[in-house]
Amino acid sequence: MKVLITGGAGFIGHHVVDELINKTDWFLTIIDRLDDSGNLNRLAELNLPKGRVKFIYHDLKAPFNDLLMSQIGRHDYILHLAALTHVDRSIEEPMLAVMDNVVATCNILDFARKTGCEKFLYFSTDEVFGPAPPGVQYKEWDRYNSGNPYSATKAGGEELALAFHNTYKVPVIITHTMNVIGERQHPEKFVPMTVKKVRDGELVTIHANKEKTKAGSRFYIHAGSVANAVLFLVGKGEVGEKYNIVGSREVDNLELAEMIADSQGLPLKYEMVDFHSSRPGHDLRYALDGEKMAKMGWAPPEDIEHSIRRVVEWTLLNKHWLIN
């Protein structure tokens, strides 16, 4: 079997590469442009076996010409993980998100249409549904209510994927994934940034409601668990369907920071900040319903407590993934 992975040098992408290398005998082709999020050092640290992984440098904003299509060739599965995922950057320059998340998605879908594949997985986000009121967990086909250009462009990519399925019979599967943690994450993200601040005795900012009494919350999930779900869906996912990939339980950002501090045996110095009111486009709570995947027989391989301990220990041993 041959698998094409876009964004394979990215944070989640390299965990998917690791999962497929260790759990299958498939041959992988990685497409990445190696920008702010793509980093070949992630792949280098995986010690990938020779002969099973090919790397193609390409910016998906550009269409695939005939020569490039010939060099890449047909693949059984295409996993489209490449995206601009930085919310602040999408707010500051929305057209960047349009190009990376809509135009690029159209180009890889068109590649799939022309070359063919057995399954095309489009990797979307919980943010397409917008903020979730208390007690609400969105199901796969609920309406969109994008709160920022990032989520809007991911929703646009979803609709393009469905359109290519309906029009050209591209065998699309769509996933929504909640906030992901794990090894080799960009140091600007909350978990590695908090690991460093706790280690150095610095103040941790906790995004909260207007009254600064309730922290924002997510169903955090480890990237390895996400990769496990991707492999599960490649085998058992139904073409034309959507699936939520959800962590074991909801955790607010203060509790998450406390877990990180406890894992280091250090106190947490924190400040609750009403970031969401001052910066439109940042939502306090996201929540997805994971019942569909659970009924199919999938659950996260580990809970959030174990994931946090593992990530904190690894990060402290691999300080080159932090900004000193």
Domain 186-217+250-284+303-321 has CATH 3.90.25.10: yes
Mean pLDDT over residues 147-171, rounded? 97
pTM of the model: 0.95
Distances (CA, A) of 297 to 189, 222, 305: 31, 18, 22
- pLDDT at res. 323: 86
- pLDDT at res. 163: 98
Average pLDDT, the chain: 95
Q: Which CATH number applies to 2-180+220-245? A: 3.40.50.720
- pLDDT at res. 279: 62
pLDDT tens-digit readout, 202-237: 999 999 988 999 999 999 999 999 999 999 999 999
Percent of the chain topping pLDDT 70? 98
Cα Rg of the chain (Å, integer) = 19
Mean pLDDT over residues 40-59, rounded? 94
pLDDT tens-digit readout, 17-34: 999 999 999 999 999 998
Model confidence at 36, pLDDT cuts 50, 70, 90, reads confident
Mean pLDDT over residues 106-118, rounded? 98
**How far apart are alpha carbons 42 and 321 in whole angstroms?**
10
Distance of CA 170 to the CA centre of its chain: 22
- pLDDT at res. 37: 78
The residue extents of the domains of the chain are 2-180+220-245, 186-217+250-284+303-321
Residue 32 backbone dihedrals phi, psi, to 5 degrees:
-155, 150
- pLDDT at res. 73: 95
* Marked catalytic residue, from 18, 127, 158, 258: 127
* Marked catalytic residue, from 100, 126, 252, 283: 126
- pLDDT at res. 281: 64
pLDDT tens-digit readout, 240-298: 999 999 999 999 999 999 999 999 999 999 999 986 665 666 678 999 999 999 999 99
What SS3 string covers the chain?
A: CEEEEECCCCHHHHHHHHHHHHHCCCEEEEEECCCCCCCHHHHHCCCCCCCCEEEEECCCCCCCCHHHHHHHCCCCEEEECCCCCCHHHHHHCHHHHHHHHHHHHHHHHHHHHHHCCCEEEEEEEHHHHCCCCCCCCECCCCCCCCCCHHHHHHHHHHHHHHHHHHHHCCCEEEEEECCEECCCCCCCCHHHHHHHHHHCCCCEEEEECCCCCCECEECCEEHHHHHHHHHHHHHHCCCCCEEEECCCCCEEHHHHHHHHHHHHCCCCCEEEECHHHHCCCCCCECCECCHHHHHHCCCCCCCHHHHHHHHHHHHHHCHHHCCC
* Marked catalytic residue, from 77, 122, 138, 150: 150
pLDDT tens-digit readout, 73-90: 999 999 999 999 888 899
Confirm whether 127 is a catalytic residue. Answer: yes
**How far apart are alpha carbons 186 and 8 in whole angstroms?**
14
